[in-house]
Amino acid sequence: MMTIGKLIPWNRNRSTALAPRLARDPILSLQRQVNRLFDELWSDFDMPALATGVGFGTEWPAVDLNETDKELVLTIEVPGMEEKDVEVQYVDGALVLRGERRGERGDGQRFSERYYGRFERRIPLDVEIDADKAKATLKNGVLTVTLPKTPQAQAEVHRIPVAKAA
């Protein structure tokens, strides 16, 4: 006798060890399955994946942006990727990150929470950048992109002192 539960893809071949975890967060499990479905669909058309990542409203890869008076420094998490897997460009006032993380699927793999596939992130920057002096390095799964500000952008920084209200 077939039950409705056997028709739902994430219920098929579910390990009993994973059952309590998935039961706690069925929405997250559904989102991962839909993300994988779209990644496979886009790969058939040779288009970049939607880069939605695993969490709600988050994008992959995760990016931190830090600013000093002289430069912008972005750190991007790309675990398991090498220099040849990542492309960094500065186009029309935005940093564009592209790449692909290839999955390693074993014959006995039953479940995976890791994100694989193509990604593209466009990060708009509101500061003039000296693109000729920009540099990117990859070490231990962290891509660091350093974007020096132009002398004009550095001069436009005005500190406003904050005083205690009377």
Tokens encoding 160: 């406003």
CA dist 42 and 33 (Å) reads: 14
Which residues in 10-154 belong to E strands, given as ranges? 63-67, 71-77, 86-91, 94-101, 117-124, 135-139, 142-148
CA dist 92 and 62 (Å) reads: 22
Direct distance between the N- and C-terminal alpha carbons of the chain, in angstroms, rounded to an integer = 77
CA dist 28 and 160 (Å) reads: 44
Residue-wise pLDDT tens digits, 21-31: 545 677 777 77
Task: Decide which of 22 and 161 is more confident.
Answer: 161
**Of the listed ranges 39-43, 78-82, 105-109, 133-137, the one predicted with least confidence:** 39-43
pTM: 0.58
Give me the numbers of helices (H) and strands (E) for the chain, helices first please.
Answer: 4, 7
Look at the block and give the residue holding tokens 């596939």. Answer: 117
Q: What was the pLDDT predicted at 72?
A: 93
Order the strands of the 86-91 sheet from edge to edge: 86-91, 94-101, 117-124
Mean per-residue pLDDT of the chain: 76
Is pLDDT of 109 > 80?
no
- List the chain domain ranges: 4-102+113-155
CA atoms within 13 A on the CB side of 126: 4
Is pLDDT of 135 > 90?
yes
Q: How confident is the model at residue 156 (pLDDT cuts 50, 70, 90)?
A: confident
Looking at 3.30.300.30, 2.60.40.790, 3.40.50.920, 3.30.350.10, the CATH number of the domain 4-102+113-155 comes to 2.60.40.790
CA dist 36 and 76 (Å) reads: 22
Concatenated DSSP letters for 136-164?
Answer: EEEETTEEEEEEEBPHHHHHT--------
Task: Decide which of 4 and 96 is more confident.
Answer: 96
